[in-house]
Amino acid sequence: MEKFIETAVLTWRKGAVVAAGCCIIAAGCAKHSSSGASTRSYRMGFAASAPQPTINSILQSLSLWPQHSDATIISTEVPWDSLLNGENAVTYVENNYTLLVGIYRQQHLKLWVYIDPENGLDRASDSYPLVALGKSIAQSDMQQVYRQFVVAMDSVLKPDHLGLALETNLIRFIAPDSIYQGVKNAVNAAAADIRAFDIHVPLGVSVQAEVAWGKLGSTAFVGVSQDFTDFPFIQELGISSYPYLGGFSSPADLPLNYYSQLVVSRSAPVFVSEGGWSSAYGGLAMQAAYIDRQGQMLTQAHGIAYFQLAYADLELSTWPAVDSAGLVNFAYIGVVDSNFNPKPAQAAWDSLRKVPLQAGH
C-alpha cells in the first residue's frame, strides 16, 4: 500500500481534503476506560491504510484515523522492486514518505518506523519481489540493500522509534534457516550502521506473541529469550498478536501477563506493534472486548504504545490476488467497517484513548 500513499498525500495537501489539526477534534465525549487505569503509559494509533488500495480510499482514511490517535507506525517491507531497479534509497524515502511524515508531525503524532526484511504475509518465504527475481535475504548483496534502506529511513525521517525486523520468532520457527540467518546478519549489521550516526533512536524488533506462548506449532510457553540473544541491540520489544488465530476463543482467556511475561526480568519496554481481533471471529462485541483487554494487558506491562495497522476493514475484492490471499484472516480487524461506519470496537478504542497519557510518554 505504501506506493499509493505519497500520491494521496500530495492530493491531500493540495486541498482535496482539509486535514490540518484533525486529530484534535476528538477531545470530547470521554468515557470511563475498562482498563481501570487513571492514566495510561501507552500511546495509541494506526498505520496509513485503507479498505481499498486506491488514492481516494487512502485519502478518506487519512482524514479519519488521526482523530483517534496520538502516535502512528510505518510498518513496511523493503521496496525491493524499486531499489533493485536502480532507485536510490534516500530518493525513494524522500519521494514516498516525507510528506506523509510531515503531516504526522503537524498533528503531533509520535512516529514508530519498523522495517521488514522478510515477507509480511508469508513468514515461510522471502519477500515476493525477491522470490520473483530469484533473490533472497540470505545473500549478502540483498542484505546490503536492506541496510541502505534502513539507514535512509532513519536519516531522512528521523523517527522517534526504529525497528529493524518484524516477527523474528515466527521467521525462526517457520522459514528456512538460511532466511533466518540472513535476517539475523542483516539486522545486526543495520543496527551497527544506525549507531554509527544516530545514538539516540531506540532500536528494536517485533516478536509474535502467539508463537512465544506456544499457541502456534508448540504446546508450551517458549518465550523470546532467543530473540534477545540473536538481536542483542534490542532496547524495546514490539509485539504482534492475533489471538483468534492462536486458538483463543475469547479475549477473557488471555492472561493478564500476556505481554509482561515476555520481558520478565528485562528492562526493555514493550508495545503492540500490530494486532487485533477480527470481528469475523466471534462478532462485533467480542472485538470490542478484545480492545478492553488490550488496555488491561498493556497497563499491567507498562506498555509504551498500542498500534493497529488497519483502521478500517478491507474490501478484499479490490486487492491484488497475492495480497488478498494473505490478508483474508485480517480483513475484519478494523474499528470501522470498509465504508468507515464505526463498529463497537471504535468506542472501546476511544474509551482507552480518553484516559490521560502519563507525563513523559
In the predicted model, what is the mean pLDDT of residues 317-328? 85
Distance (Å, rounded) from C-alpha 8 to C-alpha 14?
10
Q: Specify the pLDDT at position 5.
A: 53
pTM of the model: 0.91
- 331-340 per-position pLDDT tens digit: 999 999 999 9
- 186-203 per-position pLDDT tens digit: 999 999 999 999 999 999
CB burial of residue 185 (10 Å; 0-12, 13-18, 19+): middle
Distance (Å, rounded) from C-alpha 205 to C-alpha 221?
20
Q: Are the beta carbons of 165 and 205 closer than 8 angstroms?
A: yes
In the predicted model, what is the mean pLDDT of residues 287-316? 97
Q: Residue 352: which pLDDT band, with cuts at 50, 70 and 90?
A: very high
Residue in the block written with cell 482535496: 16
Q: In the predicted model, is pLDDT for residue 2 greater than 70? A: no
Q: In the predicted model, is pLDDT for residue 21 greater than 50? A: no
Cα-Cα-Cα-Cα dihedral of 350, 355, 100, 92, to 10°?
-110
Query: Which one-letter amino acid corresponds to residue 236?
Result: E
- Cell numbers describing residue 308: 493497529
Pairing of strands 161-163, 270-275: unpaired
Alpha carbon distance, N-terminus to C-terminus of the chain: 29
Q: In the predicted model, is pLDDT for residue 173 greater than 90? A: yes
In the predicted model, what is the mean pLDDT of residues 18-29? 33
Residue in the block written with cell 499457541: 215
**DSSP-derived secondary structure for 94-107:** HHHHHHHHHHHHHT
Distance (Å, rounded) from C-alpha 191 to C-alpha 232?
10
The domains of the chain, with CATH numbers, are 2-353 (3.20.20.80)
Cα-Cα-Cα-Cα dihedral of 334, 339, 344, 348, to 10°?
50
Distance (Å, rounded) from C-alpha 147 to C-alpha 18?
37
